[in-house]
Amino acid sequence: MTTIARRMGKAYAAISAVCIALVSWLAYHEFVEEPREFAAKGYTDIHKDTEAELSTVLFLAAVPVLLGVGWWWACRALSPLKKLLAAVEKMDEHTLLQPLPLSLKDDEVDKLSAAFGAMAVRLDESFRRIHEFTLRASHELKTPLTVMRAHLETALREGQSLPREQTEWIDGQLDELKRLAQIVDSLTLLTKADAGLVQLERQPVQLCELVEEAFEDAQVLARPRGVHVTLGACTGAVLAGDRHRLRQLLLILSDNAVKYNRPGGTIEFTLHHSAGMAELRITNTADEVSQEMLDHAFERFARGRTAQEKVEGCGLGLTIAQWIVQAHGGTIRLLAEGPGRTTALVRLPAERGDTRSAIRRRTVPVLAESEVGP
């Protein structure tokens, strides 16, 4: 990135190089080459104003020094702008009201900082209103959705003599109401999380146990699609966190690994502990995913074209998963590992715990849909 100070430094360096070259040439010409020519011609008594020539050389030699001082002063004058830039780059919706650095000289930097501060206050107010609107709208939507669902379930339960077409229509409406309710609940959770209204418990949690439970859940979800689920290494790790939210995280990732898998594909769970971090990998076979989609997968309502056409969902699951991981001080990424394989990589700060089965491998036999009971 080219900065003002860097551009000024390059200009000063170029001018200084030219001045140094002129000074070197002039000094050599006046004090070496010219006396040598005079001596060769026998002009030993020619008067030369060496004092004036020396002054000229010293003046030209001082130009690079003056330019260096000017460049240092320019960098010092621009340093408040660098601090302001660094502070603005770190700003997000949670740090909008943090004070910005000032030069304390009542100059343009202070005015720019004040303008940024006023803009941040307006942005914070906008975010606050958006959060309030989302919370209120979600709360107001829950009641009519509950009432509509109750009416439809009652009609379906009591309408034994309804035509088949009408029964199927009611079933379809119930599915859409469930989807809307899920979207409302997800938006409510994310909005409360953004506002800092969600309190997480901090209790010792055995991650290996949660992974085993998620593995069992994935079996149930995978059977209708004929997907093979494998539990690889499961190293013991203990995390101080919220068991319910961590369970929700694993359920989201397991559900995605099944939904975005291909029929007859595979899913593998592994948990390792290294250098104070527990590393969970959930790898599944799937259609090739573009890097752009992987980069934006955790944004709200972000869904790929294939997912929009074939997979039900609202695009908030991974956003919730990211919030849960970050709330526990960890990171989450989606990685494309070779053709047709996608990995959800979760890293959480944890201590090494007891390992009941440090390296084991279990494969769940998959039943055909005709063999799966009701």
Question: What are 173-199's pLDDT values in tens digits?
Answer: 888 888 888 888 888 888 888 777 888
Residue 112 has pLDDT above 60, yes or no: yes
CATH number of the domain residue 114 falls in: 1.10.287
Task: For residues 212 and 181, state if they share a domain.
Answer: no
> Domain boundary at 42, 59, 90, which?
90
Of the three residues 58, 75, 90, the one that is the final residue of a domain is 90
| Across 40-44, 140-144, 184-188, least confident range | 40-44
Q: Are residues 72 and 175 in the same domain?
A: no
Predicted confidence band of residue 237 (pLDDT cuts 50, 70, 90): confident
Weakest mean pLDDT among 40-49, 239-248, 326-335:
40-49
Tens-place pLDDT, residues 193-207: 877 788 888 899 998
Indicate the residue among 43, 71, 90 that finishes a domain. 90
Same domain, 171 and 214: no
Least confident of 58-62, 76-80, 132-136, 354-358: 354-358
Q: Are residues 84 and 176 in the same domain?
A: no
> Residue 243: pLDDT above 60?
yes
CB 257 within 8 A of CB 218: yes
Q: What does the alpha-carbon distance between residue 60 and residue 52 come to, in Å, rounded to a whole number?
A: 13
* pLDDT the model gives residue 303: 67
pTM of structure: 0.62
Residues 78 and 128 occupy one common structural domain: no
**Together in a domain, 83 and 113:** no
- Whether 102 and 28 map to the same domain: the answer is no
92 touches 64 (CB < 8 A): no
Q: What CA–CA distance (Å, rounded) separates 70 from 76?
A: 10
If one compares 75 and 211, the residue with the highest pLDDT of the two is: 211
What token pair was written down for 247?
A: 């369970």
State which of 22-36, 312-326, 348-362 shows the largest mean pLDDT: 312-326
Is a pLDDT exceeding 60 seen at residue 363? no
The pLDDT value given to residue 44: 59
Based on the fold, state whether residues 365 and 315 are members of the same structural domain: yes
CATH at 346: 3.30.565.10
Q: For residue 164, what are the contacts with CB-CB under 8 A and spacing of at least 6?
A: none
Q: Which domain does 189 fall in, by range?
A: 92-198
Span of 177-181, 219-223, 236-240, 370-374 with lowest mean pLDDT: 370-374
Do 14 and 154 belong to one domain?
Answer: no
Task: Average the pLDDT over 142-168 and give the result.
Answer: 81
Q: How close are the terminal C-alpha atoms of the chain, in Å?
A: 62
CA distance 57 to 20: 10
Mean pLDDT of 290-319: 71
Say what the pLDDT of residue 345 is: 92
* Residues constituting the chain: 374
Residue 229 sits in the same domain as residue 361: yes
Count of structural domains within the chain: 3
288 plus 320 within the same structural domain:
yes
Domain co-membership, 85 together with 109: no
Whether 144 has a pLDDT exceeding 80, the answer reads yes
Top pLDDT among 49 and 127 is at 127
pLDDT in tens, 312-348: 666 788 889 999 999 999 999 988 877 788 889 999 9
Q: Give the pLDDT confidence score for residue 287 in this predicted structure.
A: 75
Query: Which of 11-15, 137-141, 357-361 has the least mean pLDDT?
Result: 357-361
pLDDT tens across 66-88, in order?
777 777 777 777 778 888 888 88
* Amino acid 42: pLDDT: 67
